[in-house]
Amino acid sequence: MAAAHGAVAVCQSCTALSRSETFQGIVKARNLDVKTWTQAGWHSYSHFFAEPNVYECPVPSRVREILLSPPEGRWLLGVNPSGKKHTIFRAPICTGKEWGVQFDEARIYSTTDEFAACLADFERMTALGFSKDDVSSGRQSHGSILRAGVSAWASADGAMKIWRRERPDLLDLVAYCARSASAHGVEFKARDSPPPPAVADPPAPPPIVEPASVEPAKPKRGRKAAKPVKPTNPVQLSLF
């Protein structure tokens, strides 16, 4: 926050913009629709200042509006996607449609026309049902491509390849405030894939048949069962 590395003094304005009490006091005084808690401070939200006396904590849709139609006079925008970073001290003061925005740890310079062009190409893909992560990374699932149509996907993704290669920093800012697929009324799954083939039910096992009981055969009437023959004594032969 100091003017230079190694400085031992901090101005009172910077000190005020680092205290949670100051932030919560401004939210209350301006009756802003912002949630506060004990530790809520300037590091918890995004910030937009504009002349003559404008202060907001803009949400992504409002950031989109500001960058598509910047105000007259001087203005400042610090975008805090994580809700854990100070951006006011780093954001540059802008005038007109050529601007610089502090986005998390990065300072992004662009123009309204360039931002609008990148945003249009980005939302062209989300309107086809692709998620923001899919559009930013360039990795789309086979099922999502088939659902969108191969020719439509190839044309839209071809335009996005230029932004991924030449302006990845601007792409991060665009992804933050672009409309998602659901905002276009498209329902999708981030990694959609064709349904698995139906599996037929296995055949039923054959019924278990209990073996019939077999009774032993009975001798016929009028005939007696033969008695076993006892062996006779063997004949002993004498050689003398």
pLDDT in tens, 103-139: 999 999 999 999 999 999 999 999 999 999 999 999 9
Confidence class for position 33, pLDDT limits 50, 70, 90: very high
Q: Percent helix, strand, coil in the chain (nearest 5)?
A: 35, 10, 55
pLDDT in tens, 169-221: 999 999 999 999 877 666 544 344 444 455 556 666 677 666 665 566 665 56
**Is a pLDDT exceeding 90 seen at residue 11?**
no
Amino acid at 159: A
User: In which region does residue 74 sit, left (phi positive, over 0), alpha (psi from -120 to 50) or beta (all else)?
Assistant: beta
The stretch 7-22 carries a mean pLDDT of 74
pLDDT given for residue 101 in this prediction: 96
Query: Does the predicted TM-score (pTM) go above 0.85?
Result: no
Domain spans, the chain: 12-104, 114-184
Please name which of 155, 165, 146 lies closest in space to residue 125, comparing C-alpha atoms. 155
Q: Report the distance separating Cα 31 and Cα 23, nearest Å.
A: 12
Residues 143-170 have a mean pLDDT of 95
What span, in angstroms and rounded, lies between the C-alpha atoms of 134 and 24? 37
Q: Alpha helix locations (H) across the chain?
A: 12-16, 20-29, 60-68, 112-126, 132-137, 142-148, 150-166, 168-177
- Least confident among 18-27, 95-104, 106-115: 18-27
Q: What is the pLDDT of residue 91?
A: 92
- Whether the per-residue pLDDT at 60 is higher than 70: the answer is yes
The mean pLDDT of 91-103, rounded to a whole number, is: 94
Task: Name every residue whose Cβ is closer than 8 Å to that of residue 119 and which is 6 or more positions away in sequence.
Answer: 64, 68, 174, 177, 178
